[in-house]
A and B are shown apart, each in its own frame.
Chain A
Amino acid sequence: MQAIKNDVEIKGAFKQYGSNIVLNGINLGVKQGELLTLLGPSGCGKTTTLNLIAGFLEADEGDVYIKGKKVTKVPPFKRDLGMVFQTYSLFPHMTVYENLSFGLKLRKVAKPEQKKKIDRALELVKMSGLENRYPRELSGGQRQRVAISRALVVEPELLLLDEPLSNLDAKLRHELRAEIKRLQKEIGVTTIFVTHDQEEALSISDRVVVMNAGKIEQISSPTSIYNHPDTEFVFQFIGKSNSFEGKITSVDSRKISVQMENEITHVDVGNIMGTDRACKVGDEVKLYIRPEKICIAAAAENVSGLSLDLHKASITQLNYLGTSWEVAVSLLGKPLQILTPDFDSSWQAGSEVYVGWSPSDIMLIKK
């Protein structure tokens, strides 16, 4: 298992402010060269975790290791890290060049060597030629590029990114996101990225850590976070979701049958979430499915390739989103959100339709 060595290791971190528990036993390993994202809602402890690694905070309990060295009590300025902040945090009284040379000077790098490194670092983020500008003369995107190159120019052990894209507009955010991903792969620096934006986390990361209320909910690749969440929280936090309640009527080696009112639906046995995964007949369960995993068709035979689990529903509302349609239907008297690229122009509110899904797309949790 220990094929790749962990660059960062947090062991049993616990932190509390007054009666607020901010970190409740965090154990985390960051592999060498990976881009790991800490994702979660406001107050989940992701920024606290980052500050623990940076050294701005000390946990009440637990230890932090960087490259195998215990750094729990080492102040930030001795940790040799690079960090990018949401607020850019470029020194406003220094030019771009001076901002970049700040860390190099402190590392006693010789002047000509400084120049070489700064030139390279600026080239890397496509900011060559702006050395003599002051931060206020740069746009938001440019500032963040400079901030990234300032963090990288010192060739840090680790790169920490604290919501670096949150202050940018949507277009720039996309652009810079791709840029960060490219740079990170090019340089190979182990990177920890904090964000509350799930799309950003899924698109940029090698692995995502979903946090909630001071605990880690799941650490996985973006695809398994999205498609096979471990917990109810992860399912609901990432993407949109529909839920139903039901009762297990049968369990076999491949599928579980769940009765909702008088309809039956099937769930793959691998799709059970939560801590207690032993299901038996008669258990009350909750089912979750994402809107885009639901097929919708005017007639039952049109739902292609899915023989299982077709249900009759009626449309309550239709919203056009450009690339797809958002269809709200009523299934067994309960609202269900569907996202579909296929659309029948005859549909309108009140139309009777068939909806269906594959047993591999529906997740189950015991109540």
Chain B
Amino acid sequence: MTYVNISVENIESSDKGKPIKLIKFSGQLDESNVDESAKKIYKLVEENPEKLSLIFDFSDLDYMNSKSIGYLTDWYGRITGKDGKIVIAKAKENIRDILDVVGLTQLIHCYPSVEEAKLAIMTK
């Protein structure tokens, strides 16, 4: 299995009813690991059914395949459908490029830093 690591950090939120999680991906998301990795995020979504905000930190993500983009789109639909938000921070150029070609950057905003992503989540 290709190496990938997913870590989840709680971000302090002024509104207790609006949980914010910072999810950092390291490694590569491909066919060998994407289904197993996706389960962690689906679990998080199930545990926080309303107003969940996710910041995906892609600074150490080196590759993502079309299926992982499909999952990202699915999480976007589920979370925004329950008044939540999803943003991406620090995506490398090749990751940003692949998100662009499938049109996902029209749905999910990409920010150059985690701080800017947090600010966007908390203020918008």
Tell whether A pairs with B.
no
What residues of chain B have their CB less than 8 Å away from a CB belonging to chain A?
A: none
